[in-house]
Amino acid sequence: MALAKLGAVVLDCPDPGALAGFYAEILGGTVEGEGEWVDLKVPGGQSLAFQAAEGFVPPQWPSPEKSQQFHLDLVVDDLDTAEQGVLALGAKPLAQEGGSSFRVYADPAGHPFCLCAC
């Protein structure tokens, strides 16, 4: 049984609106929002989100010294149950400031992801 479903792929960047527009040109879809967080709703596909990152440094690929600069938002029905499941699988808590709406973890390799109650 799955613990979650993929909510969005989120890319850090210096200008969320510009990057969302770039991907909208490639993938189609509708750009929603402005400022620090912009969503790209792709018809029949997974949403992409773009988040402003202060001091953004572009990733280098492949490079073990540089971050890939993205995280996954995983949509869950019950944060507490999903949290127990991901911790049992080896996730490490990174932050709990989201409280009842989201919680942040690292996967076993250290990549960040959020459990989101949406």
The pLDDT tens digits of the residues spanning 65-98 come to 766 667 788 889 999 999 999 999 999 998 766 5
According to DSSP, residue 70 is labeled E
Counting every residue, how long is the chain? 118
What single letter denotes the amino acid at residue 61?
Answer: W
Domain of 32, in residue numbers: 5-117
What the block records as the tokens of 83 is 């949290």
What is the count of structural domains for the chain? 1
The pLDDT tens digits of the residues spanning 2-11 come to 999 888 889 8
The CATH number of whichever domain residue 91 belongs to comes to: 3.10.180.10
